């Protein structure tokens, strides 16, 4: 298999293809690339052994910001029962009841450069059952707490969709039950995974990784080109083993399937993972677990548009919607492999493969330039400025203009 790939790569470098692939001759031999990857892995392992993961306490923010913890079921159950006792006591005293809910609004978010992630500040708001403007949300909050308590006593997992269908008339729309579920995590002080409510399977992984899934050993080199679905509950994943040199994080499913079918992970030993677009919680948890346990560098391949960079930032710095759990959901030191705006001219991507940015695209790009996590990285600022200036974007699949398997040849 490896010999066939080498012959194919040599064939691609022939004179007949030189016009179609103007920069092909500049590519380094596989042996040189492998040495670079080994050095990168060694550097990552060394820094992991000497550096300490900082917390809010380490940067003096524990009093003004909040974080949740991964709690066992009995502690989650105890917290809910304690909250129920407080509510009952308040009702019996004739005072009604209300919840103190941490605000997850944009104004209550803070990017901490020392932690390189977004955290939640300590502002809260009252969700009063006796107030006409908040009575419905207070009722949904109480119902979600009741359902989570049932899950704790039964020791089972359900999906967010299952949770929604337990009381469709009350919730009306899944986005409402999902939002209150995040509120409940903040109220109880635990991660959303600790509530035993998970999202449906979305992300997939393939390549040089073996791990146990609820006791069953999974070899990700034998999962076909579709890969192995990432388990929705990370607590059943363990015993990770790998001889990979790095983790390749891919934005799109199409690029993932191309690399998987070509068994790119055998030529340059790696683990390939994708959330098929917007990162879900399970994929973010799985990526962090791989990074921390295997001490491997993470290289990201995303579209050359503002949303590709936003997706990359969610993996690295966290999302504002779930900033309360950024300590568990973020993966530090992800390298932006491509596709960068400067790559469009550097690799001579044909004009027919480039797309004009919409007004919304340009606005999103300018908004990103105002974000602290972008300002911290001069290279990102330079690339974003170029993108906004040229008003051009391109997807990973633009490389297919040089051949359908070109991504596997040059990635």
pLDDT (tens digit, 9 = 90+) per residue, 254-278? 889 989 988 999 999 999 999 998 9
Whether pTM > 0.75 for this model: the answer is yes
Helix (H, G, I), strand (E, B), or coil: what is residue 267? Answer: helix
pLDDT category, 400, cuts 50, 70, 90?
A: low
Report the pLDDT averaged over residues 180-184.
95
Report the pLDDT averaged over residues 170-191.
94
pLDDT at 43: 83
Type and span of the H or E element at 186: helix 174-188
pLDDT at 1: 44
pLDDT at 410: 58
In which region does residue 333 sit, left (phi positive, over 0), alpha (psi from -120 to 50) or beta (all else)? left
Over the stretch 230-248, which tens digit does the pLDDT of each residue have?
A: 998 888 898 999 999 999 9
Helix (H, G, I), strand (E, B), or coil: what is residue 327? Answer: helix
pLDDT category, 74, cuts 50, 70, 90?
A: very high
Q: What whole-number distance in Å separates Cα of residue 374 and Cα of residue 361? A: 16
pLDDT category, 338, cuts 50, 70, 90?
A: confident
Report the pLDDT averaged over residues 154-182.
94
What's the farthest any 2 CA atoms get from each other in the chain?
87
- Please, which contacts does 58-64 make with residues 24 or more away whose CB atoms are closer than 8 Å? 58/114, 59/112, 59/114, 59/115, 61/112, 61/119, 63/122, 64/121, 64/122
Strands 210-213 and 216-219, bridge-based pairing: antiparallel
Contact 36, 30 (CB under 8 A): no
Q: What whole-number distance in Å separates Cα of residue 39 and Cα of residue 333? A: 16
pLDDT over 70 at 6, yes or no = no
What's the CA angle centered on 269, arms 252 and 303, to 5 degrees?
A: 20
pLDDT over 80 at 8, yes or no = no
pLDDT at 402: 63
User: Pseudo-torsion of CA 403, 407, 408, 411, nearest 10°?
Assistant: 140
Q: Which of 165, 246, 265, 307 is catalytic?
A: 165
Type and span of the H or E element at 210: strand 210-213
Q: What whole-number distance in Å separates Cα of residue 305 and Cα of residue 354? A: 11
The DSSP code for 222 is S
Structure tokens at 304: 């050359």
pLDDT over 60 at 4, yes or no = no
Q: What whole-number distance in Å separates Cα of residue 381 and Cα of residue 377? A: 7
Clarify whether 307 is annotated catalytic.
no
Q: What whole-number distance in Å separates Cα of residue 5 and Cα of residue 410? A: 12
pLDDT over 60 at 388, yes or no = yes
Contact 206, 220 (CB under 8 A): yes
Over the stretch 280-297, which tens digit does the pLDDT of each residue have?
A: 999 999 999 999 999 999
- Crossing angle, helix 378-390 and helix 359-369, to 10 degrees? 160
Report the pLDDT averaged over residues 110-136.
91
pLDDT over 70 at 207, yes or no = yes
Report the pLDDT averaged over residues 382-410.
76
pLDDT at 276: 92
pLDDT category, 16, cuts 50, 70, 90?
A: very low
Considering the chain, what is the average pLDDT of its residues? Answer: 86
């Amino acid at each position: 298999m490896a010999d066939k790939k080498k012959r194919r790569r040599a064939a691609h470098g022939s004179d007949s293809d030189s016009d179609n692939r103007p920069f092909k001759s500049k590519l380094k031999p596989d042996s040189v690339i492998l040495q670079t990857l080994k050095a990168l892995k060694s550097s990552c392992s060394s820094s992991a052994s000497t550096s300490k993961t900082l917390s809010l306490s380490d940067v003096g923010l524990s009093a003004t910001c909040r974080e949740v913890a991964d709690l066992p079921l009995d502690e989650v159950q105890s917290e809910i029962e304690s909250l129920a006792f407080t509510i009952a006591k308040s009702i019996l005293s004739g005072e009604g009841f209300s919840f103190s809910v941490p605000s997850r609004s944009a104004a209550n978010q803070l990017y901490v450069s020392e932690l390189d992630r977004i955290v939640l500040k300590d502002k809260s708001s009252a969700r009063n059952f006796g107030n006409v403007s908040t009575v419905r949300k207070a009722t949904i909050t109480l119902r979600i707490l009741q359902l989570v308590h049932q899950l704790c006593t039964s020791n089972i997992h359900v999906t967010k969709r299952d949770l929604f269908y337990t009381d469709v008339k009350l919730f009306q729309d899944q986005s409402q039950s999902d939002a209150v579920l995040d509120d409940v995590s903040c109220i109880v002080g635990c991660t959303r995974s600790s509530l035993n409510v998970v999202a449906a399977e979305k992300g997939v992984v393939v390549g040089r990784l073996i791990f146990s899934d609820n006791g069953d050993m999974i070899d990700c080199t034998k999962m076909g080109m579709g890969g192995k679905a990432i388990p929705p509950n990370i607590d059943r994943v363990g015993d990770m083993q790998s001889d990979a040199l790095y983790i390749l994080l891919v934005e799109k499913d199409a690029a993932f399937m191309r690399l998987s079918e070509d068994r790119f992970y055998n030529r340059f030993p790696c683990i390939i993972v994708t959330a098929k677009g917007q990162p879900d919680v399970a994929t973010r948890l799985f990526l962090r677990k791989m990074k921390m346990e295997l001490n491997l560098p993470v290289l990201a391949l995303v579209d050359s548009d503002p949303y590709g960079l936003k997706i990359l930032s969610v993996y690295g710095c966290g999302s504002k919607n779930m900033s309360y759990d950024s300590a568990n959901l973020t993966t530090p030191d992800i390298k932006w492999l491509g596709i960068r705006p400067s790559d469009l001219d550097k690799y001579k991507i044909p004009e027919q493969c480039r797309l004009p940015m919409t007004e919304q695209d340009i606005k999103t790009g300018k908004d990103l330039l105002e974000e602290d996590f972008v300002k911290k990285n001069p290279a990102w600022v330079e690339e974003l400025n170029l993108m906004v200036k040229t008003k051009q974007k391109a997807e990973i699949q633009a490389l297919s203009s040089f051949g359908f398997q070109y991504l596997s040849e040059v990635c």
